[in-house]
């Protein structure tokens, strides 16, 4: 029950609802876009070799080494890199640092749920702009707006990506607004990252995470990339809220993960190949599958609704994500797992559809 002591803000907000992490039985978990593969063996080694006695000391509040590694990976100086405890923290700081009361925040009607939650938490007005009928972002809608813009690319939960060439006019036409491109899934969309544009536009913040493509959702590591003045803005918030936001173990693990590009590429390519196979299998069963460039598929069946299929899969021990929301309630969001897991998924769906 809500405490009678709740303040006005806490009373007003609707918190984000994470995907289930159930404990009642073993599920095939295809509901939170985690990696089906373990993190790099170099991560395991970094953990094994971590000198635990160092944990008595505070971590480096400037996160220098990890930021330098991450910058080097993308050819950016460390002053253009911000490290956060998951990309959610980076996004939250971006809302706080660059918004003013009265200026609305713009994002699509169908996108990552946290944008709405942050806007509400920080008392900001939000304006949602509808995706086109084919569920792509209508880029012209975002030109020259009187407020900051938050776009996930590839978008969630559709998986549809826009190219940097398609996004650039949004960044260019809003020179005095912050444009955030949330690239949580961009590693599964080769060539689609806007990071190269951060060198040319001082109003662009690109946000990425190690939770999906780096198989480190349990570690909480995310990054922001942008002009040094934008990074300074994020640091203003961080140093007013949680200066030691990245712990020592996460720093060591993050550095090891960046180093192992071979393992990273192997896992990513495997997930992309499995995604394409699964999309074909679903299409053969009568699903409309949106053209995903992420590590999940968003699909609806011509005859059977999303809630029914979600429940049928759940009873078979397979968890996917279903959103009881306008426009998308007939869709399932299915994380790409191993080939074996996807085999279980398609078999369970075939079985349920045969009952129709
Ligand atoms: C998963 C996700 C995030 C947040 O990931 P973290 O685990 O907080 O790094 C951010 N944006 C989108 C679109 C996501 O799907």
CB 262 within 8 A of CB 109: no
What spacing in Å lies between the alpha carbon of 187 and ligand 1's midpoint?
A: 13
Per-chain mean pLDDT for the chain: 97
Identify the residue whose C-alpha is closest to ligand 1 atom 12: 184
Q: Rounded CA gap, 134 and 169, in Å? A: 21
pLDDT range class, residue 93, cuts 50, 70, 90: very high
What spacing in Å lies between the alpha carbon of 133 and ligand 1's midpoint?
A: 25
Residue list, ligand 1 pocket, CB within 6 Å: 86-88, 112, 152, 156, 182, 184, 209, 211, 217, 222
What lies within 8 Å, CB to CB, of 240 at 6+ separation is none
Residue 353: in which H helix or E strand, if any?
A: helix 339-354
pLDDT one-digit tens code per residue, 209-224: 999 999 999 999 999 9
Q: Rounded CA gap, 328 and 6, in Å? A: 33
Q: Rounded CA gap, 181 and 84, in Å? A: 16
Identify the residue whose C-alpha is closest to ligand 1 atom 5: 87
Q: Rounded CA gap, 223 and 330, in Å? A: 33
pLDDT one-digit tens code per residue, 148-178: 999 999 999 999 999 999 999 999 999 999 9
pLDDT range class, residue 21, cuts 50, 70, 90: confident
- Cα–Cα distances (Å) from 39 to 22, 235, 260, 266, 290, in that order, read 22, 29, 10, 12, 28
Identify the residue whose C-alpha is closest to ligand 1 atom 11: 184
Q: 20 pLDDT exceeds 80?
A: no
Q: Which of 17, 159, 180, 184 to mutate to test the pocket of ligand 1 (most atoms within 8 A of CB)?
A: 184
Q: 82 pLDDT exceeds 80?
A: yes
Q: Rounded CA gap, 256 and 200, in Å? A: 30
Beta strands 28-29 and 318-319, pairing class: parallel
What spacing in Å lies between the alpha carbon of 155 and ligand 1's midpoint?
A: 11
Q: Which of 16, 33, 34, 86 to mutate to test the pocket of ligand 1 (most atoms within 8 A of CB)?
A: 86
Dihedral, CA of residue 187, residue 193, residue 195 and residue 197, to nearest 10: 180
Number of H helices and number of E strands within the chain?
Answer: 11, 12
What spacing in Å lies between the alpha carbon of 87 and ligand 1's midpoint?
A: 6
What is the predicted pLDDT for the residue at 17?
85
pLDDT range class, residue 258, cuts 50, 70, 90: very high
- Cα–Cα distances (Å) from 165 to 139, 162, 169, in that order, read 11, 8, 8
| Ligand 1 atom nearest 84 alpha carbon | 9
DSSP-derived letter for residue 321 is B
Identify the residue whose C-alpha is closest to ligand 1 atom 1: 184
pLDDT one-digit tens code per residue, 114-140: 999 999 999 999 999 999 999 999 999
Q: 356 pLDDT exceeds 90?
A: no
Q: 186 pLDDT exceeds 90?
A: yes
- Cα–Cα distances (Å) from 302 to 278, 286, 309, 315, in that order, read 17, 6, 12, 21
What is the predicted pLDDT for the residue at 218?
96
What lies within 8 Å, CB to CB, of 152 at 6+ separation is 111, 112, 181, 182, 183, 184, 185
pLDDT one-digit tens code per residue, 306-351: 999 999 999 999 999 999 999 999 999 999 999 999 999 999 999 9
Q: Which of 157, 211, 219, 336 to mutate to test the pocket of ligand 1 (most atoms within 8 A of CB)?
A: 211
pLDDT range class, residue 65, cuts 50, 70, 90: very high
What spacing in Å lies between the alpha carbon of 265 and ligand 1's midpoint?
A: 20
What spacing in Å lies between the alpha carbon of 350 and ligand 1's midpoint?
A: 31
Q: Rounded CA gap, 163 and 325, in Å? A: 27
In the structure encoding, which two tokens stand for residue 346, read together? Answer: 């398609």
What spacing in Å lies between the alpha carbon of 215 and ligand 1's midpoint?
A: 12
What spacing in Å lies between the alpha carbon of 152 and ligand 1's midpoint?
A: 9
pLDDT range class, residue 22, cuts 50, 70, 90: confident
CB 257 within 8 A of CB 73: no
């Amino acid at each position: 029950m809500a405490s009678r002591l709740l303040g006005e803000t806490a009373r007003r907000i609707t918190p984000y609802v994470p995907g289930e992490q159930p404990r009642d039985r073993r599920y095939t978990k295809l509901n939170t876009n985690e990696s089906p593969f373990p993190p790099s063996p170099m991560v395991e080694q970094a953990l094994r070799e971590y000198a635990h006695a160092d944990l008595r000391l505070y971590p480096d509040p400037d996160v220098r080494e990890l930021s330098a590694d991450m910058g080097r990976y993308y050819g950016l100086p460390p002053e253009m890199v911000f490290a956060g405890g998951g990309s959610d923290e980076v996004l939250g700081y971006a809302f706080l640092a660059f918004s003013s009361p009265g200026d609305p925040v713009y994002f699509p009607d169908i996108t990552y749920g946290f944008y709405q939650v942050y806007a509400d938490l920080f008392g900001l007005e939000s304006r949602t702009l509808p995706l086109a009928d084919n569920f792509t972002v209508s880029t012209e809608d975002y030109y020259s707006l009187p407020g900051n813009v938050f776009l996930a690319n590839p978008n969630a939960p559709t998986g549809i990506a826009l190219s940097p060439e398609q996004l650039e006019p949004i960044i260019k036409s809003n020179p005095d607004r912050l444009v955030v491109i949330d690239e949580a899934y961009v590693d599964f969309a080769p060539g689609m990252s806007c990071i190269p544009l951060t060198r040319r536009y001082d109003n662009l913040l690109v946000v990425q995470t190690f939770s999906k493509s780096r198989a480190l959702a349990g570690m909480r590591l995310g990054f922001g990339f942008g002009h040094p003045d934008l990074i300074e803005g994020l640091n203003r918030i961080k140093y007013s809220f949680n200066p030691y936001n990245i712990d020592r173990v996460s720093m060591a693990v993050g550095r090891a993960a960046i180093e192992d590009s071979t393992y990273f590429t192997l896992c990513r390519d495997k997930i992309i190949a499995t995604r394409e196979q699964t999309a074909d299998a679903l299409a053969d069963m009568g699903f409309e599958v949106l053209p995903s460039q992420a590590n999940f598929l968003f699909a609806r069946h011509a005859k059977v609704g999303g809630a029914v299929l979600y429940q049928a899969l759940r009873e078979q021990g397979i968890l996917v994500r279903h959103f009881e929301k306008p426009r998308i309630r007939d869709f399932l969001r299915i994380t790409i797992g191993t080939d074996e897991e996807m085999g279980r998924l398609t078999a369970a769906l075939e079985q349920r559809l045969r009952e129709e």
